[in-house]
Structure 1
Amino acid sequence: MKISLRAGERIYINGAVLRVDRKVSVELVNDVMFLLEGQVMQASDATTAMRQLYFIVQLMLMNPTDIRDAAALYGQHHAALCAVCESREMLDGLAAIDKLVGATRYFEALKRIRALFPVEQAILAGATTETPFEAA
């Protein structure tokens, strides 16, 4: 996989943070877990249940050698979401995310979670009659 980075941009590879000082292309020639800087969510942005789930899975991807605490937190958060969610679309998405996380396919899980952000936002805004989450 070939990735192009701009000067000053960061990439997170298998727990390491790399910042390039000039425009560069990097070819990843083996199987690695990575996130581009634009895909990284800051803790302060984890303001909804799905964004919190994203942040937790992101921690698992960014520190693959020590996921014990993040995995335990993921299990609790995922179970709580499933328990209060009534939206079929959200429940199906959560099931798919759980399979991806169980297979250590964290990047794909993050993509699936991001795809549910608009669904969550619409539900929270009252665009549907379903209520996926109880107030925490």
Structure 2
Amino acid sequence: MKVSLRAGERIYINGAVLRVDRKVSVELVNDVMFLLEGQVMQASDANTAMRQLYFIVQLMLMNPTDVDAAAALYEQHHAALLAVCENREMLDGLAAIDEMVGATRYFEALKRIRALFPVEQAILAGTTITNSPFEAA
């Protein structure tokens, strides 16, 4: 996988933080877990249940040598979401996310969580969303 970075941009690879001083392309030639700086959520932005779930999974990805505490927190938070959620799309998404986290596919889980942000926002606003990319056709 080839990743292009701008000058000053950071990439988080297997728990390490790398910042480049000039535009560069990096080819990742083996299986690594990484996040680009633009995908990293700050703790202050984790202000809804799904954003908190994202932040927890992000911790698991960014610090792979110490996953246990974040994994325990994930289990609690995921179970709490399942207990209160009634929306079918959210329930299906949470099941898929749990499967991905169980298989340590954290990056894919983060992608799936981000896709549910608009659904969560609609639920919180009391509206509905149509044409979701995860709805059955």
Q: TM-score, normalised by structure 1?
A: 0.94
- How far apart are residue 133 of structure 1 and its match? 20
- How far apart are residue 134 of structure 1 and its match? 24
Task: Please say if residues 59 and 70 of structure 1, whose CA atoms lie closer than 8 Å, have aligned partners that are also in contact.
Answer: yes
Aligned to 1:10: 10
Structure 1 window deviating more from structure 2 (122-131 vs 31-40): it is 122-131
Task: Please say if residues 11 and 35 of structure 1, whose CA atoms lie closer than 8 Å, have aligned partners that are also in contact.
Answer: yes
State the alpha-carbon separation in 1 of the partners of residues 80 and 65 from structure 2. 26
Q: Structure 1 residues 135 and 8, CA, compared in 2 at 3 Å: closer, same or farther?
A: same
Percentage of identical aligned residues:
90
- State how many pairs are aligned: 136
Aligned to 1:133: 134
> Which runs of 5 or more residues in structure 1 are unaligned?
none
SS at match of 2:126: coil
- How far apart are residue 131 of structure 1 and its match? 18
Task: Please say if residues 87 and 132 of structure 1, whose CA atoms lie closer than 8 Å, have aligned partners that are also in contact.
Answer: no
Deviating above 6 A after TM superposition, structure 1's stretches of 4 or more consecutive aligned residues are: 129-136
Q: Structure 1 residues 85 and 132, CA, compared in 2 at 3 Å: closer, same or farther?
A: farther
> Which runs of 5 or more residues in structure 2 are unaligned?
none
Task: Please say if residues 87 and 130 of structure 1, whose CA atoms lie closer than 8 Å, have aligned partners that are also in contact.
Answer: no
- How far apart are residue 86 of structure 1 and its match? 0.5
- How far apart are residue 132 of structure 1 and its match? 19
Task: Please say if residues 11 and 36 of structure 1, whose CA atoms lie closer than 8 Å, have aligned partners that are also in contact.
Answer: yes
State the alpha-carbon separation in 2 of the partners of residues 55 and 121 from structure 1. 17
State the alpha-carbon separation in 2 of the partners of residues 42 and 69 from structure 1. 18
State the alpha-carbon separation in 2 of the partners of residues 132 and 80 from structure 1. 25
SS at match of 1:74: helix
State the alpha-carbon separation in 2 of the partners of residues 55 and 101 from structure 1. 13
Task: Please say if residues 7 and 20 of structure 1, whose CA atoms lie closer than 8 Å, have aligned partners that are also in contact.
Answer: yes
Deviations 1:52-77 (A, max 9, x none): 00000000000001100000000000
Q: TM-score, normalised by structure 2?
A: 0.93
- How far apart are residue 30 of structure 1 and its match? 0.2
